[in-house]
Amino acid sequence: MPFRLHFGDDDLLRCRFAVSPLWETQEAVRTLGRPDRHGYHPQWLRRTREAARGLDLTALWLLMPVRGHSPDFLGPPPVGPAATFEEEIAGVRAADPVAARADIARSLADTPGALGSPGGRALLADPERAVRELADLLEAAWHALVEPEWPRLRALLEADVAFHSRRLAEVGLGALLPELDRRLSWDGRTLTVDWHGEHGRELGGQGLVLMPSVFSWPEVVSGYEEPWQPTVVYPARGLAGLWTEPDAEQSEALVRLLGRGRAAVLAALGDPATTTALAHRLGLAPSSVSGHLSALRGAGLLTSRRYGHQVLYERTPLGMALVGSGE
């Protein structure tokens, strides 16, 4: 049962990328309670274990059904491409209590047992207080779980935006959308998200926000009711290497395993690059780099894709893990 977002002429001109620290905070909270989301984040879970124990996230978890509606006002689309957490949480605190109560009630109804629970009844009984306390919880979660890691997370998210912005310039919106995730398809006027739930919306000139996320993996998230701008959240590229950092000892181990030239080429591919760009970056002959790339690709450490007259190489998850295995 897919989501379908229907584009008009104006919508094609009003699509944008964004990064949201508030969204990552909300999804980090969700990830803590969802073992199926832990695959890429065991280091983060270990690093935040003590901080997480100091948070009572029950009220937020009540509003995070595995399948169904989560309150839009708690994680709205960011108003700009690089909004700060402080700007975004101020918007949560300013939410209209009447609208927030309806949003909360819809979410509680999608979480088995939540609507009649003491916590659920308390949220509905005093929506003004609920908005304030939920915002306080999100702010505490931000400081404890996400803010210490935000430079690392932001770098990955911004690298994703930079890569896909280049792709947008190269191939256009219609070709880009299915590249963001295999569950997205485009027929020229309608973006279909092959995920759980049934939803249809005319964009109505608002365009679309495209937002990479670290903690939403493995899900693609879409929806948002009016007045929020329609948004698609997709898993960011490079998650396999997010929490790992090569050190000097590990780099030497990689050299011993692959040889100095191939280790240098693999380490240099933090972002996709062509043979010529790598040769310039590393000060090597293009023919040498080409040979290293072929060997690394044959070993399953790289993949390549042709874009026009260029071939871009990037690490596979195995290649990312090998570069970062020193941690």
CATH number of the structural domain spanning residue 269 = 1.10.10.10
Q: Verify that 29 and 76 share a domain, yes or no.
A: yes
pLDDT digits (tens, 9 = 90+) for 158-185: 878 878 888 888 888 888 988 898 888 8
User: Is 113 found in the same domain as 248?
Assistant: no
Higher pLDDT, 255 or 105: 105
- 272-311 burial: b if 16+ Cβ within 10 Å, else e: bbbbebbbeebebeeeebbbbbebbeeeebbeeeeeeeee
Report residue 61 as tokens: 């978890």
pLDDT at 327: 36
Q: Specify whether 62 is located in the same domain as 183.
A: yes
pLDDT in tens, 295-313: 999 998 998 877 556 788 8
Residues 17 and 53 in one domain: yes
CA end-to-end span of the chain, whole Å?
41
Helix 85-93 to helix 21-32 angle, to the nearest 10 degrees? 80
Highest mean pLDDT among 43-52, 72-81, 136-145, 264-273: 136-145
The answer to whether residues 162 and 221 belong to one domain is: yes
Residue where a domain terminates, one of 207, 239, 271: 239
Residue with more model confidence, 142 or 254: 142
Question: Could you tell me the two tokens for 156?
Answer: 């990955």
Give the structural domain span for 57.
3-239
**Which alpha helices (H) appear in the chain, and where do they start and end?**
21-32, 42-47, 49-53, 58-62, 85-93, 97-109, 118-125, 127-141, 150-171, 173-180, 248-258, 260-268, 275-282, 286-298, 317-323
Farthest-apart Cα atoms in the chain, separation: 70
Q: Clarify whether residues 179 and 262 are in a common domain.
A: no
Q: How many CB atoms lie within 10 A of CB 2?
A: 19
Number of domains in the chain: 2
Q: Which of 239, 259, 277 is the last residue of a domain?
A: 239
- On whether both 8 and 122 belong to a single domain, the answer is yes
Do 86 and 210 lie in a common domain? yes
Instruction: Report the alpha-carbon distance of residue 58 to residue 55 in Å, rounded.
Output: 9
Mean pLDDT of 187-193: 86
3-state secondary structure 144-211: HHHHHHHHHHHHHHHHHHHHHHHHHHHHCHHHHHHHHCCCEEECCCEEEECCCCCEEEECCCCCEEEE
Structural domain ending residue among the three candidates 211, 239, 267? 239
Please tell me whether residues 251 and 235 are part of one structural domain: no
Read off the pLDDT band of 252 (50, 70, 90): confident
Clarify whether residues 301 and 232 are in a common domain.
Answer: no
Q: Does residue 172 sit in the same domain as residue 305? A: no
Residue 254's pLDDT band, with cuts at 50, 70 and 90, is confident
> Do residues 300 and 152 share a domain?
no
Cα–Cα distance measured from residue 107 to residue 64, given in angstroms and rounded to the nearest whole number: 7
pLDDT higher for 81 or 187? Answer: 187
The predicted model scores a pTM of 0.75
Question: Across all residues in the chain, what is the average pLDDT?
Answer: 86
Report residue 36's pLDDT band, with 50, 70 and 90 as the boundaries: confident
